[in-house]
């Protein structure tokens, strides 16, 4: 299965159904009156985390999602049916970003956790909603609100307790294959692991911890050398790092330098990541003919790294039990990893009903911006004179005319509200 951890998609919520103009026509009712029903609300777009997915591959083949529109109202005051929501499943650990702003709007780490990323348009009201003491027979209804269209980015950060780091061929894939049921590709050439691998290691109590094998880093990864830094996002959520160092190399090699190279690349990616607790694991000791050499390396690393150091052989299982017991103890003592993403409160997913507004002069054109004003314009049928007059009366009641006059508006100037142009006339206001 191809591993994909970053995709962009386009979502659109459903439009609200139109309200209608209708009248009661019953044989023995002298004054039937208005009976136009409301349109149904459009469906929402919801993103939900699930444990059944481990990659964003599906979104490479389908990247556009739209919820159902609401139905238009019916006569006899019958409301239209609401549109069905669309639920987009993503792996646990997925961060949702708004492509336009770049802000993260949700971080879904638990199965079943969800976020509404685009709310459906509200259904328009039928003419029976506009009956008043002075308006007994409304000749207009509201159109439904349009849906919200937006582009989103999904970024997957695997959820693991322990991350395996080190140079290519340090023995990470071999170790995870031995301590878990994971079956990564293993070979004796660099960059055997091209995508992260997850494995579950069982504790004596029966509970499991999740271990992530990350593709190897090399010096210069921060500048794009080798596989670069891309996969380091998958150990940002880990609580503990096992830093694997191969000590079976030729005498001219310097394992201590290898460890320093990796730590420097971690710092270049994220200072927080570089400060995570580490256990140094010296690997492939079965290929070291002199046991005293292994002991000397352990002492050298302990002095240089100020960390716990273990020497193991994944092939012969030497030292594995001691290492795993220490890992279990360390995890029990470490607090759960908090979310590393500062989620920005999402406002673009919802309809803005704020009654406040702002007036901006753009040359000879005047732009009026306000959530409620723009929504009212969107739900007005300008083909109907009665609906248009109602909108202008609302503008007057909200103080739009007074504020325009304070800014020095001139007769004939164009006023834009909610994408619609109005010509200002003093005698009739807009």
Q: Which H, E and C letters describe 191-221, residue by residue? A: CCCCCCEEEEEECCCCCEEEEEECCCCCCCH
More confident residue, 101 or 343: 101
Q: Give the highest mean pLDDT range of 114-118, 221-225, 378-382.
A: 114-118
Q: How far apart are CA 360 and CA 369, in angstroms?
A: 8
Cα 129 to chain centroid, rounded: 39
pLDDT, tens digit (0-9, with 9 covering 90-100), for 96-138: 999 998 899 999 988 999 999 999 999 999 999 998 888 888 9
Q: When comparing pLDDT for 155 and 253, which is higher?
A: 155
Please give the average per-residue pLDDT across 342-357, as a whole number.
Answer: 81
pLDDT band at 189 (very low <50, low <70, confident <90, very high): very low
Query: For the purposes of burial, counting CB atoms within 10 Å of the CB of 260, is it exposed (0-12), middle (13-18) or buried (19 or more)?
Result: middle
The span from the CA of 37 to the CA of 22, in Å, is: 8
- Flag whether pLDDT at 367 surpasses 60: yes
Return residue ranges of the chain for CATH 2.70.210.12: 6-156
pLDDT at 80 over 80: yes
Q: Specify the higher pLDDT residue, 26 or 154.
A: 154
Across the chain, what does the average pLDDT equal? 85
pLDDT at res. 428: 55
CATH of 6-156, one of 2.70.210.12, 2.60.15.10, 3.30.1520.10, 3.40.1190.20: 2.70.210.12
CA torsion through residues 3, 6, 10, 12, sign = positive
**What pLDDT does 427 receive?**
57
Average of pLDDT values for 42-64? 92
CB-side exposure of 326: number of CA atoms within 13 Å?
18
| Higher pLDDT, residue 224 or 390 | 390
Q: What share of the chain is helix, strand, coil (3-state, %, to 5)?
A: 25, 25, 50
**In the structure, what pLDDT confidence band is assigned to residue 226 with cuts at 50, 70 and 90?**
very low
pLDDT at 227: 45
Higher per-residue pLDDT: 9 or 220: 9
pLDDT at 374 over 80: yes
Query: For 227-235, what is the mean pLDDT?
Result: 66
Question: What local confidence, expressed as pLDDT, does residue 221 receive?
Answer: 46
* Res 350: pLDDT: 81
215-240 mean pLDDT: 65
Band (186; pLDDT cuts 50, 70, 90): low
pLDDT of residue 416: 94
More confident residue, 254 or 317: 317
Give the contacts of 195 (CB within 8 A, at least 6 positions apart): 3, 215, 231
CATH of region 162-333, choose from 3.40.50.300, 3.20.10.10, 3.40.1390.20, 3.30.70.260: 3.40.50.300
Kindly report the backbone phi and psi dihedral angles of residue 311, in degrees, each rounded to the nearest multiple of 5, phi listed first: -115, 125
Q: What percent of the chain has pLDDT over 90?
A: 39
pLDDT at 172 over 80: yes
Angle, helix 385-397 to helix 371-378, in steps of 10 degrees: 170
Q: Which CATH class is domain 358-423?
A: alpha beta
Instruction: Provide the pLDDT confidence category of residue 288 given band limits of 50, 70 and 90.
Output: confident
Angle at which helices 291-305 and 255-269 pack, to 10 degrees? Answer: 30
Q: What is the pLDDT of residues 291-328, one digit of tens each?
A: 888 888 888 888 887 789 999 998 899 999 999 999 99
Instruction: Give start-end residues of each CATH 3.30.300.350 domain in the chain.
Output: 358-423
Q: Show the CA angle centred on residue 208, arms to residues 203 and 214, nearest 5°.
A: 110
CA distances from 139 to 55, 73, 126, 186, 267 (A): 54, 15, 10, 75, 68
What pLDDT score does 249 carry?
73
Predicted pLDDT of residue 345: 77
Whether the predicted pLDDT of 180 surpasses 80 = yes
């Amino acid at each position: 299965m191809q591993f994909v951890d970053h995709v962009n998609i386009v979502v659109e919520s459903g439009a609200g159904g139109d309200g209608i103009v209708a009248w009661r026509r019953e044989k023995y009712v002298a004054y039937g009156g208005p009976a136009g029903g409301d349109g149904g609300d459009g469906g929402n777009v919801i993103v939900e985390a699930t444990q059944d997915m481990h990659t964003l591959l599906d979104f490479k083949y389908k990247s556009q999602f739209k919820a159902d529109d609401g139905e238009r109202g019916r006569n006899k005051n019958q409301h239209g049916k609401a549109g069905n929501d669309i639920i987009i499943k993503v792996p646990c650990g997925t961060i949702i970003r708004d492509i336009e702003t770049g802000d993260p709007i949700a971080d879904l780490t638990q199965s079943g956790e969800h976020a509404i990323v685009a709310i459906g348009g509200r259904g328009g009201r039928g003419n029976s909603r506009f009956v008043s003491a002075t308006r007994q027979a409304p000749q207009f209804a509201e159109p439904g609100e349009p849906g919200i269209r937006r582009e989103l980015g999904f970024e997957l950060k695997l959820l693991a307790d322990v991350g395996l780091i080190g140079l290519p061929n340090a023995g990470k894939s071999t170790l995870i294959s031995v301590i878990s049921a994971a079956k990564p590709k293993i070979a004796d050439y660099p960059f055997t692991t091209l995508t992260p691998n997850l494995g579950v290691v069982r504790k004596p109590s029966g509970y499991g911890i999740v271990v992530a094998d990350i593709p190897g880093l090399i010096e210069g990864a921060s500048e794009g050398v080798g596989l670069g830094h891309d996969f380091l996002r998958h150990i940002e959520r880990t609580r503990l790092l096992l830093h694997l160092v191969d000590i079976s190399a030729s005498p001219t090699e310097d394992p201590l330098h290898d460890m320093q190279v990796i730590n420097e690349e971690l710092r270049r990616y994220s200072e927080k990541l570089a400060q995570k607790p580490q256990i140094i694991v010296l690997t492939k000791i079965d290929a070291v003919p002199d046991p005293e050499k292994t002991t000397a390396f352990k002492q050298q690393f302990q002095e240089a790294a100020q960390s716990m150091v273990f020497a193991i052989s994944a092939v012969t299982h030497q030292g594995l039990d001691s290492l795993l017991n220490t890992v279990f103890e360390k995890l029990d003592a470490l607090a759960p990893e908090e979310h590393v993403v500062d989620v920005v409160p999402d406002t673009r997913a919802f309809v803005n009903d704020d009654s406040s507004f702002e007036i901006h002069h753009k040359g000879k054109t005047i732009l009026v911006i306000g959530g409620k004003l723009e929504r009212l314009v969107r739900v007005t049928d300008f083909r109907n004179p009665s609906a248009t007059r109602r909108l202008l009366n609302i503008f007057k009641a909200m103080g739009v005319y007074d504020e325009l006059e304070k800014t020095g508006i001139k007769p004939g100037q164009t006023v834009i509200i909610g994408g619609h142009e109005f010509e200002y006339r003093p005698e009739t206001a807009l």
